[in-house]
Amino acid sequence: MAAFPSGLTSQIAQQLKSTKSLEPTATWLAAFLRTQKSTTPLQALVSTALFRLLASDITQNLERTPSACLPPDVCNVNIKERSLSGPIVVQVLGIDDMSKSRWEQIEAIEALERGEGTKGREIIRLPSTEDEGSASTSVQKGGGPHKLLLQDPQGLRVYGIELKDVEGVALGMHIGCKLVLEGTIVARGILLLEPRTTSLLGGRIEHLHKAWKENRKRDLKAAIQDNSGSARAGN
């Protein structure tokens, strides 16, 4: 095991918290340092730790203190409105474009699979990127508002809806992407997302992203078929 200077773990933790609002557990940091060389500069360690945190499950590596998590009753529809102090890091488990029909969402997903996006009415080729930890990923621009299924470090899930367009939130964004919530309003169990209170850190969880991508079109088509069957039965 490499011998690191005393206090290095706390320095890395402090930088991640102050710059990205990420609070990795001591266990995760210790395991991370065991994979690094003792001669690696501090900033390089911080950057590598950030990349790995963004590419992994926050329920496995972030602290679950009350201040770092959503309130246990966040989904309570009987509470008209309240504000989350934060910062609270959450990860995206699903996304819907509420302005598009199911068929339009299928078409948008297929366009992304072909590497196409839209600019007004024009179809354009989207540049590919190898940096999966970046917040500036190739997504389907336009549309919205978007509805996100979000999860906090303790595994609590809640839906969030855009009140105003949030940079980087779009159909095709990576599943497992991390967001930071600060001062976010919760109304009737729904998070109200807007640029002032929501920021993207980026990243993705590879196996969740792959599964969602594979299942999304199937689920949309199944919902269309169910609706068609119900309509026929009613005639």
- The per-residue pLDDT for range 28-66, each reduced to its tens digit, is 999 999 999 988 999 999 999 999 999 999 999 999 999
pLDDT at 86 over 90: no
Label the pairing between strands 190-193 and 157-162. Answer: parallel
Q: Please indicate, yes or no, whether residues 41 and 136 belong to a single structural domain of this protein.
A: no
pLDDT at 179 over 60: yes
Label the pairing between strands 146-151 and 185-187. Answer: unpaired
Q: Please indicate, yes or no, whether residues 214 and 105 belong to a single structural domain of this protein.
A: yes
Q: Please indicate, yes or no, whether residues 23 and 103 belong to a single structural domain of this protein.
A: no
Q: Please indicate, yes or no, whether residues 40 and 155 belong to a single structural domain of this protein.
A: no
Domain membership flag for residue 235: no
Q: For residue 202, which amino acid is it?
A: G
Domain membership flag for residue 223: yes
Q: Please indicate, yes or no, whether residues 109 and 178 belong to a single structural domain of this protein.
A: yes
Q: Please indicate, yes or no, whether residues 191 and 220 belong to a single structural domain of this protein.
A: yes
Domain membership flag for residue 60: no
What average pLDDT does the chain have? 84
Domain membership flag for residue 77: yes
Where in the sequence is the domain holding 135, given as residue range(s)? 68-229
Q: Please indicate, yes or no, whether residues 25 and 77 belong to a single structural domain of this protein.
A: no
Domain membership flag for residue 61: no
Tens of pLDDT along 96-152? 888 877 777 777 777 777 776 554 434 444 444 444 444 334 444 557 799 999 999
For the record, the structure tokens of 26 come out as: 């001591």
- Among 16, 31, 54, the domain boundary falls at 54
pLDDT of residue 144: 76
Q: Please indicate, yes or no, whether residues 95 and 13 belong to a single structural domain of this protein.
A: no
pLDDT of residue 142: 59
Domain membership flag for residue 63: no
pLDDT of residue 97: 86
Strand partners, 218: none
Number of domain units in the chain: 2
**Chain length of the chain:** 235
pLDDT of residue 120: 42
Q: Please indicate, yes or no, whether residues 78 and 137 belong to a single structural domain of this protein.
A: yes
pLDDT of residue 111: 78
Confidence tier at 172 by pLDDT (50, 70, 90): confident
| Relative orientation angle of helices 26-33 and 42-54, to the nearest 10 degrees | 120
Tens of pLDDT along 14-26? 999 999 999 999 9
Q: For residue 209, which amino acid is it?
A: H
Domain membership flag for residue 2: no
Confidence tier at 78 by pLDDT (50, 70, 90): very high
Q: Please indicate, yes or no, whether residues 134 and 170 belong to a single structural domain of this protein.
A: yes
Q: Please indicate, yes or no, whether residues 27 and 122 belong to a single structural domain of this protein.
A: no
CATH of the domain at 190: 2.40.50.770
